[in-house]
Amino acid sequence: MNCPECDAILNIPDDASVGEIISCPDCGADFEIAKKDGTNVEIKQAETVGEDWGE
């Protein structure tokens, strides 16, 4: 799968789960794994850090 921002190859680990965040090694953009069915993976833009994020 390629990065929607810069077209670099995204390495998605086999054990990655839905909801996990992956980062593009080239441009640093963050993506969330939206769906995963075997080797078919869908990603979406990850949310940015919000004012209320944390513990």
Partner 1 sequence: MSKVCIVFDRLRTEEKMLQKEAVNLGHNAVMLDAKITQINTDSKREDFDFGDVVLERCVSYFRGLHFTASLEFMDIPVLNKFDVANICGNKMFMTLLLKKNNIPTPKTYFSFSSESAAKNLEKVGYPLVIKPVIGSWGRGVMPIKDRDTMDAVFEIRDITDSPHDRIYYLQELIKRPPRDIRVITIGDEPVAAMYRKSSGGFKTNIALGADPEICEITKEMEDIATKASKAMGGGILGIDMMEDEKRGLVVHEVNNTVEFKGLAKVAQRNIPKEMIEFALNYVRK
Residues interacting with partner 1, by CB under 8 A? 17-21, 32, 46-47, 50-55
Closest by alpha carbon to 9, among 27, 35, 21, 36?
27
**In which order are the strands placed within the sheet that holds 21-23?**
21-23, 30-37, 40-45
Q: Which residue, among 26, 29, 25, 20, has the nearest Cα to 48 in the 3D structure? A: 29
CB-nearer residue toward partner 1: 14 or 51: 51
Q: Which is nearer to partner 1, 38 or 50 (CB)?
A: 50
* Beta carbon nearer to partner 1, 38 or 54: 54
CB of 9 to partner 1, least distance (A): 22
